[in-house]
Structure 1
Amino acid sequence: MSDKRIAGPEIERLIQLLAKVPGLGPRSARRAALHMIKKKEQLMAPLAAALTEASEKVTVCSICGNVDTVDPCSICSDPRRDPSLLIVVEDVSDLWALERASVMNARYHVLGGTLSPLDGVGPDDLNIKSLVDRVAAGGITELILAVNATVEGQTTAHYITDQLADFDVRITRLAHGVPVGGELDYLDEGTLSAALRARTQF
């Protein structure tokens, strides 16, 4: 493969940085960069300003681990949220997904990943101690474990459950099974098995 440059070093740097964004490979990054260059006034300048502002103002919430421009974040400081319900998620992207669904008016706790001994990720690398501290402070009656249905996610869920065994808090998890609009023929055996175990009254 040729290392021949197709543009100046500034444009090449832009492409290389865009290629590091999840979902954008080298080819997509080149297309995105070219589109921004063509729309320099309408897109590139406002985007650069937004990135600078975000870099300066975005912070991690000291209570839940969400990202916002204020600390505590707007979710933690919202008095309309039910303080007795706490949803535990792996990452901020999971928090945002649940917020888009607008199903529960609860508060959150972001773990920052999952336990993975093979990758060297232990309990001290995640926000588990701060979660236990929040439960120990009182006021939380239900903790919803909204972790992914992976081996690492379930291992993390079991570990958290063990850590909270001495507290008077109800621990629940998301139901796993057939997605809305899903067809049985396209589902894997694990999903079908979970769906049957979590069956409900019709």
Structure 2
Amino acid sequence: MWINGKNNRVTKKIDGIGKKVAEKIIFDLIIDKEKIDSLEEILSQIKNTYNECERCFFFKENNKCSFCDNKNRNENIICVVSTKMDAIKILDSSYNGLIHILNGEINLNKNIGPEKLKLSELFVRINKEIELLLALNLTFEGEVTSNYIANKAKNITEKISRIARGIPLGGVIDYIYQEPLNDAIANRKKLES
């Protein structure tokens, strides 16, 4: 069958969709043709409504970026994240500044060096007045990327910060790794009575 054969292009074109999920989607569309019409409508809407912001690399909806084109946002702080999904989380938070999406993190095991990220575009956006808030993943790659950015940016701005780390809500101390526990203790807050 063509789904299992050479023509299985769905899994190669869309990140996050493996072979089994692609087969289920295709079988569902074969069985229920009305879903194809709905899917075509959704895809057309995506194609005609959304594109990528050339400044921060977030989504533009009808040529408006939720970050760059919102005049109510603080333009003196730029939150640096790895992916658009991370940026959506930041957008849904109480953060009120700008964003910059790197489209990944430095990962030498996967041949992703600084030149493959949107770093030069970031450095063009910063000056002495801008604070960089590094909100990269708390992984080895995220730490490497954060350190790289901090070292390069320290000659441009003195205002470089990192999101707080520690124990997540609902976390049980017995199951927490030592580094987050150390961060939670170091970043403790005084209780107000």
Which residue of 135, 139, 146 corresponds with 2:126? 135
Q: Which ranges of structure 1 fall in alignment gaps of 5 or more residues?
A: none
Counterpart check, 1:30 vs 2:23: yes
Determine if contact 1:176/1:195 at 8 Å carries over to the other structure. yes
- Which residue is equivalent to 2:106? 115
TM-score, length basis structure 1:
0.79
Out of 31-40 and 113-122, give the one that drifted further.
31-40
Which residue of 83, 96, 116 corresponds with 1:105? 96
Structure 2 counterpart SS, 1:167:
coil
Written as runs of structure 1 = structure 2, the 5 A alignment for 1:1-202 is 5=1, 9=2, 17=10, 21-41=14-34, 43-71=35-63, 73-100=65-92, 102-136=93-127, 139-140=129-130, 142-202=131-191
Determine if contact 1:114/1:156 at 8 Å carries over to the other structure. yes
Are the structure 2 counterparts of residues 193 and 37 from structure 1 closer, same or farther at C-alpha, using a change threshold of 3 Å? farther
Out of 189-198 and 78-87, give the one that drifted further.
189-198
Partners of 2:98 and 2:138 in 1: CA distance: 21
CA offset digits 1:94-129 (Å, max 9, x no partner) = 0012223x2211110111111223332222221112
Give percent identity, aligned residues only: 27
Partners of 1:119 and 1:85 in 2: CA distance: 31
Are the structure 2 counterparts of residues 72 and 133 from structure 1 closer, same or farther at C-alpha, using a change threshold of 3 Å? farther
Letter aligned with residue 64 of structure 1: C
Partners of 2:9 and 2:189 in 1: CA distance: 50
Structure 2 counterpart SS, 1:133:
helix
1:66 CA drift (Å): 0.9
TM-score, length basis structure 2:
0.82
Structure 2 counterpart SS, 1:34:
helix
Out of 166-175 and 105-114, give the one that drifted further.
166-175
Partners of 1:12 and 1:33 in 2: CA distance: 14
1:49 CA drift (Å): 2.3
Are the structure 2 counterparts of residues 18 and 124 from structure 1 closer, same or farther at C-alpha, using a change threshold of 3 Å? closer
CA offset digits 1:55-100 (Å, max 9, x no partner) = 3553221110112245562321111111112110011110012223
Q: CA RMSD in A?
A: 2.8
Determine if contact 2:50/2:63 at 8 Å carries over to the other structure. no
1:143 CA drift (Å): 1.5
Partners of 1:80 and 1:175 in 2: CA distance: 25
Are the structure 2 counterparts of residues 79 and 12 from structure 1 closer, same or farther at C-alpha, using a change threshold of 3 Å? farther
